[in-house]
């Protein structure tokens, strides 16, 4: 069905949104991005036209069938469902945390999760965020939805390819913790903190975080558990992983042409790039 596109084939940012376009570009450039597909904003248009009340909008039957077919073809469950908006990840507005992201999604709750994500563009806090950053003529945005394989991470975090506080372009800043990256992104833990120098290719500063808990997959969703005493007194990333992330940050920054904010995960020693966006000001 037109409007459902594998990440390995997506090529037009205006069709799939900034986040999906960037992931597709990285995947097609052979970076370690988990497989997935995108339901482009245009695929939802019939639902919009059918009912003006967002709460009552239902997907056409043909779209539901196409989504399930793409799920069985392009990904191995479980998956994560997240937004890809035409206004996201710009210089002035990242939209980080504004739209709904649903973790540990399976066939049983796939359509419901996609609808929740898609309808989150109508939430009041999203409209307020949009109004604060754009003119009155652009206070709605076309929202596509990404369905992507979920990495059951041993450790994860966020990386900045330039220091977001000082603006130092030589410094790569990494925040990390055990388990899924949700613990870092949501502020659940004080993560491990690392600074590496691009020029000197070395770790120049680090601080052990107060990692008393972590987010893991459990049941039909995620759950928060206590970290072990060993995890609380150890760094969540080994030195060789920090250097791998340093090289990855330089490579992605070069590929995209601007400083980036990267979400990453490690599973059984394998690095995965979950998201990359321009560092917003």
Residues 70 and 102 in one domain: yes
Residues 52 and 159 in one domain: no
pLDDT tens profile 199-212 = 999 999 999 999 99
Judged against a pLDDT cut of 80, whether residue 139 lies above it is answered with: no
Cα distances (Å, whole numbers) of residue 134 to 88, 117, 139, 277: 12, 22, 7, 19
Residues 16 and 131 in one domain: yes
Q: Is the pTM of this model over 0.85?
A: yes
Residues 94 and 181 in one domain: no
Residues 121 and 213 in one domain: no
Residues 52 and 160 in one domain: no
Cα distances (Å, whole numbers) of residue 187 to 97, 118, 173, 180, 246: 12, 24, 17, 12, 23
- 3-class SS letters over 149-217: ECCCCCEEEEEECCCCCCCCCCEEEEEEEECCCHHHHCCCCCCEEEEEECCCCEEEEEECCCCCEEEEE
Judged against a pLDDT cut of 70, whether residue 132 lies above it is answered with: no
Joined together, the tokens standing for residue 253 give 């920054």
Question: Domain of 64: which CATH number?
Answer: 3.30.1490.20
Residues 134 and 260 in one domain: no
φ, ψ of residue 168 in degrees (nearest 5): -65, 115
Q: Which of 116, 149, 182 is the last residue of a domain?
A: 149
Cα(95)–Cα(7) distance, integer angstroms? 21
pLDDT tens profile 26-73 = 999 999 999 999 999 888 776 665 665 655 567 888 899 999 999 999
Residues 137 and 195 in one domain: no
Contact between 243 and 227 under an 8 Å Cβ cutoff? The reply is no
Number of domains in the chain: 2
Residues 120 and 143 in one domain: yes
Judged against a pLDDT cut of 50, whether residue 129 lies above it is answered with: no
Residues 127 and 96 in one domain: yes
Question: Domain of 227: which CATH number?
Answer: 3.30.470.20
φ/ψ bin of 189: left (φ > 0), alpha (ψ from -120 to 50), beta (otherwise): beta
Residues 57 and 190 in one domain: no
Q: Which of 110, 127, 149 is the last residue of a domain?
A: 149
Q: Which domain holds residue 217?
A: 155-278
Burial category of 200 from C-beta neighbours within 10 Å (exposed 0-12, middle 13-18, buried 19 and up): exposed
Judged against a pLDDT cut of 50, whether residue 226 lies above it is answered with: yes
Residues 17 and 142 in one domain: yes
Q: Which of 120, 149, 178 is the last residue of a domain?
A: 149
């Amino acid at each position: 069905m037109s409007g459902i596109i594998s990440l390995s084939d997506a090529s037009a940012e205006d069709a799939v949104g900034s986040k999906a376009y960037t992931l597709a570009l990285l995947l097609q450039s052979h970076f370690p991005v988990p497989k997935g597909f995108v339901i482009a904003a245009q695929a939802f248009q019939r639902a919009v036209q059918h009912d003006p009340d967002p709460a009552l909008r239902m997907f056409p039957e043909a779209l539901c069938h196409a989504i399930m077919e793409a799920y069985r073809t392009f990904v191995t469950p479980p998956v994560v469902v997240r937004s890809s908006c035409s206004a996201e990840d710009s210089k002035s507005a990242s939209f980080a945390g504004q739209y709904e992201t649903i973790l540990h999604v399976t066939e049983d709750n796939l359509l419901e999760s996609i609808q929740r994500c898609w309808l989150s563009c109508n939430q009041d806090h999203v409209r307020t965020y949009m109004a604060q950053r754009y003119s009155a003529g652009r206070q709605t945005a076309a929202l596509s939805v990404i369905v992507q394989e979920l990495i059951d991470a041993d450790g994860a975090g966020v990386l900045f390819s330039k220091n977001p506080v000082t603006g130092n372009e030589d410094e790569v800043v990494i925040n990390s913790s055990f388990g899924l990256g949700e613990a870092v992104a949501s502020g659940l833990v004080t993560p491990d903190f690392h600074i590496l120098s691009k020029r000197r290719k070395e770790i120049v500063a680090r601080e052990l975080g107060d990692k008393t808990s972590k987010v893991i997959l459990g049941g039909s969703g995620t759950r928060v558990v206590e970290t072990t005493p060993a995890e609380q007194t150890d760094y969540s990333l080994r030195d060789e992983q920090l250097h791998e992330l340093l090289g990855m940050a330089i490579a992605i920054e070069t590929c995209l042409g601007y400083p980036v904010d990267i979400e990453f995960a490690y599973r059984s020693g394998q690095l995965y790039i979950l998201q990359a966006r321009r560092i917003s000001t």
